[in-house]
Amino acid sequence: MIAPSVAEVEHADWPALRRMASGLGLNPKGRSAVVRLRVLDHVRKKAARQAWHAGREHQAPILVRLGFPAPAAAHWEGVMTLDAPAPWVGLGAARLGAGELEEAAKAFDRAAQMGDATAFLHRAETAAAAGDFGGAVRACDAYLGMRPRDLRGLSMKADFLARGGWADEGIAVLRSALEDHPDAVALWRGLGLALLRSGKHGPAAEAFHETLRADPRDVDCLINRGAALLHLGRTRDAIGAFREALEIDPSRADALNDLGVAYAREDQVKSAGVNLERAAKRLETPQILRNVAHVRELLHHGEAKEAHPHTARPTTVRAVAAKPAPRRKARRKPSKRSPRRRPAKTARARTPPRRVRKAHAKRRPARARSSRPVKRRRR
Amino acid sequence: MNAPSDSGDRFLPSVDRLEVEMKAGRRALEAGEFDEALRRFTAALRLKPEYDAAWLGRGHVLRNLADTDGAIDAYARALKVRPESEEAWMGLAAALRGAGRVKEEVAAYDALLKVRPDLLEAWINRGAALHELRDFRGAVACYDRVLGMRPEHATAWNNRGAALLRLGDEDGAERCFAEALHFGPDSYDAMVNRVFLVQRKGRPGEAALWAGRALRVRESAPLWAAKGLAHLVLLESTLAIQAFDRALDLDRDLKEARAGLRKAKALRQRTDFYRGVYECFGTHLAGDPGCAECEILAKCREVSP
């Protein structure tokens, strides 16, 4: 006998419950609540889960994700019906995966004609893939016509506007979306990124601050906020933000790099060197290596500073892009001089990073304990 | 145990070495090598005396080594460096509990909950500590906070029931235990609490039933004895003898079981009911379809309250 579901057992009447118990080989005798308990125990612990087989419509999206759009399209074509738009959307996605943009657009149009609003968003993605950001924005508008103030539609529209080069319009869309959805943290995050990309560092820092109010442990946001503050010249605040990010995730090379750059701005060249070297250990991007080389150069001059104070130069290294912030180039080219002496070991970072908080997350010292203080025994 | 002394052998810290010491300390702590872990964390603290993570690690190690005072000191040092550390507050509270300083434990949870008002474990543990201090209303308020956030929290339901029982609200307690068992069908504590509740209400049939279910999860001598007592009231002398025997196997010194065994043996001279396949014997409920067709209905009625 196939095991019944918990809900079926909970709502079964007495004859059905008895049948269930007998069918499962359980004792069907006793008070109904006790028999029900017995069957529920069996269902919870012993009953095998019902086998589930993936149909063609289930296999097709997986095939697209695995990179086999042609068989996925064949599957979708096999499950087409006249009144269901979903297979058309699936077919469009498979065509899009195969790079057949025109065919994809046709499929999405068909689904949209059948009343599927999300097809417009897929249509927008297809237009964007073809580089037609204006078309993508128009498709988003069509979607928003059917679902005004929809968060997904608004954020996609803002994204396409930004990618199309209409950064200010994108920011305006995000701002209007925030009026309707003030609690949507993702919107604040997107707004911060858009502002950062368009060079409005003050408002960007504020937007990231709003995001962090909802989720203080958002490492990306902390790093981006730090980058915005660094651009604003608030270096001490930026250092604070990067250090906070590193406390949450000490392995973030971009945060280490940005912290190094911020220290360099503060003329704390040794600290800068330590952090940049730690960043380079984790991620050897040309940008980080350039920053390391530059700081070593500065360090060399710093050592010479005591003898020749006038040779000291201001730091000119810029922050490396904090993912997913826009990539920014280091202002300086790689030094073509011979490699400089490494800083002495004893001059490394004065404050080691904190990194234990997560490491012991599993070892919560005191678990929630239950009390059993009501032991009254009958004598 | 105190912090390592600020001796002259301290030198400017090497970040790499500090990391190595911390990693080794954590690894040793997880592997249960507490002496090695203590050595590593102490070395880390010599490199950087104001390192909250190392103080935390040291606190965990000392707590495992049953050096409660040392652990309290270590957690306090960690909190001095980082007053908002959730792990340090929880550790401190646990260490204070270990030292029997329950009032201070409550204060520690209060401080933590100011920083993290949504921390369920802290609310639950605060409730349990208040329960120990016999502030049952305060405990119920803590569990209500938890249930406001997570209505399916079985432990909170169970603890709430226990507190209500101490306040004399038996019906409320029964509802709480039922919820606890609904959301956590294998909740041992809720089953045991239910056994004692129904015993108190004079329903030996249910006591035997729930004791049987709890004993399937975990055996304990007092629970076997409670089951034996329930069988005794149901006039099931053979089952009572079996239960008391098992209780005495687990704990030879359990006087309650010894006395119960004597009574059960005496009872068997006069009567001995046999419940057959009916697990629910002694819980007769008028109008229940299962009870209506029961073969031992008459006997069940006799012993059901």
Report CB contact under 8 Å: B280, A34.
yes
Does residue B278 register a pLDDT over 60?
A: yes
pLDDT band at A357 (very low <50, low <70, confident <90, very high): very low
Give the pLDDT confidence score for residue A375 in this predicted structure. Answer: 33
Does residue B116 register a pLDDT over 80?
A: yes
Measured between CA atoms, the residue of chain A closest to residue B256 is A379
Average pLDDT over residues B20-42: 91
Report the residue from B51, B162, B280 with minimal CB separation from A372.
B162
Contacts of B97 in chain A (CB under 8 A): 366
Quick check: A49 contacting B, CB < 8 Å? Answer: no
Measured between CA atoms, the residue of chain B closest to residue A41 is B185
pLDDT band at A1 (very low <50, low <70, confident <90, very high): low
Contacts of A346 in chain B (CB under 8 A): 11-12
Question: Would you tell me which residues 136-165 of chain A have a C-beta closer than 8 angstroms to some C-beta of chain B?
Answer: none
Average pLDDT over residues A264-272: 89
Contacts of A14 in chain B (CB under 8 A): 289-290
Question: Would you tell me which residues 261-320 of chain A have a C-beta closer than 8 angstroms to some C-beta of chain B?
Answer: 274, 278
Does residue B285 register a pLDDT over 50?
A: yes
Measured between CA atoms, the residue of chain A closest to residue B139 is A371
> How many Cα atoms sit within 13 Å of A346 on the Cβ side?
3
- A363 to chain B, closest Cα gap in Å: 9
Does residue A331 register a pLDDT over 50?
A: no
Report CB contact under 8 Å: A34, B279.
yes
The one-letter amino acid code at A148 reads P
Average pLDDT over residues B228-254: 93
Contacts of B149 in chain A (CB under 8 A): none
Report CB contact under 8 Å: A377, B199.
yes
Which residues touch B261 (CB under 8 Å, ≥6 apart)?
B228, B241, B244, B245, B248
Report CB contact under 8 Å: A352, B48.
yes
Inter-CA distances, B190 with A313, B156, B159, B174, Å: 72, 10, 8, 10
Contacts of B82 in chain A (CB under 8 A): 354
**A331 against A216, higher pLDDT:** A216
Give, for A32, the enclosing helix (H) or strand (E).
helix A32-45
Q: What value of ipTM does the predicted structure carry?
A: 0.76
Give the pLDDT confidence score for residue A48 in this predicted structure. Answer: 55
Torsion from C-alpha of A222, A224, A225, A226, nearest 10 degrees: 90
Average pLDDT over residues A77-105: 89
Quick check: A345 contacting B, CB < 8 Å? Answer: yes
Does residue B8 register a pLDDT over 50?
A: no
Report CB contact under 8 Å: B288, A359.
no
Under CATH, domain B1-117 is a member of which superfamily? Tetratricopeptide repeat domain (1.25.40.10)
Task: Residue A35: give the domain boundaries.
Answer: 6-45
Give the pLDDT confidence score for residue B145 in this predicted structure. Answer: 94
Give the pLDDT confidence score for residue A93 in this predicted structure. Answer: 93
Average pLDDT over residues B199-228: 93
Average pLDDT over residues A126-149: 93
Domain count, chain A: 2
pLDDT band at B13 (very low <50, low <70, confident <90, very high): low
Does residue A245 register a pLDDT over 60?
A: yes
Q: Which two tokens stand for residue A40?
A: 């529920």
Helix residue spans in B184-285 (DSSP H): 188-200, 204-217, 221-233, 237-250, 255-268
Residue A241 belongs to some domain of the structure: yes
Extents of the domains making up chain B: 1-117
Average pLDDT over residues B212-236: 93
Distance (Å, whole) CA B104 – CA B120:
19
What would the pLDDT profile of B56-86 be if each residue is shown by its tens digit?
Answer: 999 999 999 989 999 999 999 999 998 888 8
**A89 against A302, higher pLDDT:** A89
Give the pLDDT confidence score for residue A359 in this predicted structure. Answer: 27
Average pLDDT over residues A182-203: 90
pLDDT band at B12 (very low <50, low <70, confident <90, very high): low
Residue A103 belongs to some domain of the structure: no
- A35 to chain B, closest Cα gap in Å: 8
Q: Give the rounded percent of residues in chain A with a pLDDT score beyond 90.
A: 51
Does residue A374 register a pLDDT over 70?
A: no
Q: Which two tokens stand for residue B109?
A: 């949870």
Is the CA virtual torsion B87, B90, B94, B97 positive or negative?
A: positive
Quick check: A379 contacting B, CB < 8 Å? Answer: yes
- B155 to chain A, closest Cα gap in Å: 6
Phi and psi at residue B189, to the nearest 5°: -60, -40
pLDDT band at A302 (very low <50, low <70, confident <90, very high): low
Report CB contact under 8 Å: A360, B56.
yes
Q: What is the CA radius of gyration of chain B?
A: 26
Give the pLDDT confidence score for residue B11 in this predicted structure. Answer: 52
Distance (Å, whole) CA B12 – CA A344:
12
Does residue A340 register a pLDDT over 60?
A: no
Specify burial of residue A35 (Cβ count, 10 A radius: 0-12, 13-18, 19+). Answer: buried
Least confident piece of the model among A41-50, A192-201, A207-216, B274-283 = A41-50
Q: Which two tokens stand for residue A139?
A: 């498709």
What would the pLDDT profile of A16-39 be if each residue is shown by its tens digit?
Answer: 999 999 998 899 999 999 999 999
**CATH number of the domain to which A217 belongs:** 1.25.40.10
